[in-house]
Chain A
Amino acid sequence: MTSGWHIKPGDKVFRPRRIRRYHLRRVLGVAAVFSAGYGNVGSSIYYALGIVSLAAMGATPLALGIAGILFVFTALTYAEGTAMFPEAGGSASFARHGFNDFVSFLAGWALMLSYVVTISISAFTIPPYLGYFWAPLKESPIVGTSAAIVIILFLMTMNIIGIRETSVINIVAAIMDIATQVSLVIIGFILLFNPSVLFQHIIGYWPTAGNLVMGIALASIAYTGIETTSQMAEETRKPEKNVPRALGLMIVAVLTIFAGISIVSLLAVSPEQLASEWARDPVAGIAANIPVAIIASIFKPLIGILAGTILLIATNAGLIGISRLAFSLGQYNLMPSVLSRVHPKFKTPYFSIIIFTVIAIAILIPGFFASNVFGGIGALYAFGSLLAFMFSHAAIISLRVRKPELPRPFKLGGNIRIKGRELPITALLGLLSTFIVWIIISIMQPFSSWVGFIWVAAGLVIYCLYRQKRRMPLLSVSKSVAK
């Protein structure tokens, strides 16, 4: 004791209850947030290139470039939103602050679709990359789809048990990923660069206007996964500074590497081959067509192992992301509490992990019967992600109008002033462009849009029934149940 007073036997000491019962220990820095984000966004190129080429053919680099502009708008919106609200939930969190519970639920539900499809599409792409080691993984739809389902079930088990995973794994994986992708681009340019071949592949396979528009719409999936940085914000030291920095780094890295890979892919293989033979493992297609045998012999297995590992991490990130999101929505009375149920022994949200694993597997079932489901899954991914991005842009604009006084540690520049309110041009353009792309996907991909709209309708029914049962209004703004 530093004072003169001492506790004597028999004294009763009143200790005030800890007002904030615990405090969060945030330990991640820019490198860890960037690595987690790049691990997710950067993994998309391993399947997005094939999906985009199905529609955009020779204009694949152009489609990826135009979609890249949308990505910049979205990343900037997330930078402002995450710096304001460094908490789990991403677009659902922005929508809760910017609008109300109902819009927050819609944003969260759309994000859940995006996470579920991340799990499906990432797992579905692992077997073709490993096909270098055992051909049936790439060639047989039954073997490939079965392997994808086994991978998802394995990760489900690991996440229910609650494996320890440090941020060091993400950093190492991101470094390896960037190093391999950059070296593939450099070697590809040195060994394959031939302007006449590039010109022939672009002009000779130039798509129709409709296909180009569809290609741009599908290219948006190459840039999804940005939500990961938002999820990591709650674990980041000084998130108001470090998350925008990580997002800035990610914009530069993703745009540069994706541009390089898409051009090298057209130098290595024709768009026709890219959209057929290498649709599910396009980066392996580049490695397989490197003309120097010794370099190709190194890159073929390396790409197989690396892509498999990165996609496995992305599948796991999807599973972690959706269970965190379900728990977070449950805390704000937006989802039935059963999804927030924690296993008494393993301390993990086992119920939501199992439910969403089953849905992710169900999406893969058509893969047993047809090999052309890949484009459909990709379009469904775009449907969910773009919907979530739309809500993010709208929420940031709404916050500027309704709560202009809120502190904004990272405030977007380039604003237009309407009725005394500053509205960020990038968020307005982002909202408009994601809406247009979302409409295109909904019209041109009827199967995916049907599945997407059924998902939204099912969510609305769950939300209305749950709120009615809890006797809560649909449009109110809830505080966390836990706080």
Chain B
Amino acid sequence: MFRRKGFGEDKKSGEMEFGKILVPVFGSEIDEEAIRLACRLAKKNKSKIYVVSVITVKRALPLDAEIEPEIQKAEDILDRMERVAEEQDYEVETVLLQAREVGPSLIDEAMERGVDLILMGVKYKRRFGQFSLGSTVLYVLKNAPCRVILYQQYAS
């Protein structure tokens, strides 16, 4: 039996190694837990962590439109994530993107930076009475060029 070695897989040992980890953040409390988990995973191999916040720009505006409150909000989120990482004794690189849609921009960023893992915090939410992952998570799961870990907060 042959098994295809994937992204982030050590070819000798077969163990998973994540050299570069991308963590999308959206401003909810689950982001902090996702960053803590990413730091723990990264410490073993001294991996690089990219924390990405995406500002979605409505189609009625040019993509390079600077909407100050949105930028400030995203900067605050990234600053907070940096502090969380510092508490974990780790350093992360923060990335602020402007895009039309969150999902495609995350995938594009992951491909451009050649990440081995996307670690997403998932908030427990219900839509029309049903548990829902949301469109961004589904898009990432469907199109990711690497492994994806979903980290969901305790639902109760």
Interface, chain A (partner B; CB < 8 A): 1-2, 6-7, 13, 15, 18, 21-27, 87-88, 159, 162, 164-166, 234-235, 237, 319-320, 323-324, 327-328, 331, 342, 344, 346-349, 353, 482
Contacts and interface: CB of A to CB of B under 8 A. Distances in A.
A27 B108 contact: yes
A18 B96 contact: yes
A88 B65 CA distance: 10
Given A24-B98, A27-B99, A327 B86 contact: no
A331 B67 CA distance: 12
Contacts of A87: 62, 64
B98 A348 contact: no
B92 to A, nearest CB: 10
A7 B61 contact: no
Interface string B98-109: 111100110011
Contacts of A6: 89
Nearest to B94: A18
* In the A-B complex, the 8 residue pairs with the closest CB atoms: A88-B62, A25-B99, A25-B105, A482-B66, A22-B96, A162-B58, A323-B60, A27-B104
A73 to B, nearest CB: 27
Given A18-B96, A25-B99, A235-B100, A324 B62 contact: yes
Contact of B98 (A2, A25, A162): A25
B86 A7 contact: yes
A353 B90 CA distance: 46
B64 A234 contact: yes
A32 to B, nearest CB: 11
A435 B98 CA distance: 39
A344 B71 contact: no
A23 B57 CA distance: 12
B61 A342 contact: yes
A320 B59 contact: yes
Contacts of A323: 60-61
Contacts of A166: 101
B145 to A, nearest CB: 14
A21 B105 contact: no
B110 to A, nearest CB: 11
B67 A25 contact: no
9 contacts: A21-B71, A22-B98, A25-B108, A324-B60, A342-B67, A347-B57, A347-B67, A482-B64, A482-B65
A24 B99 contact: yes
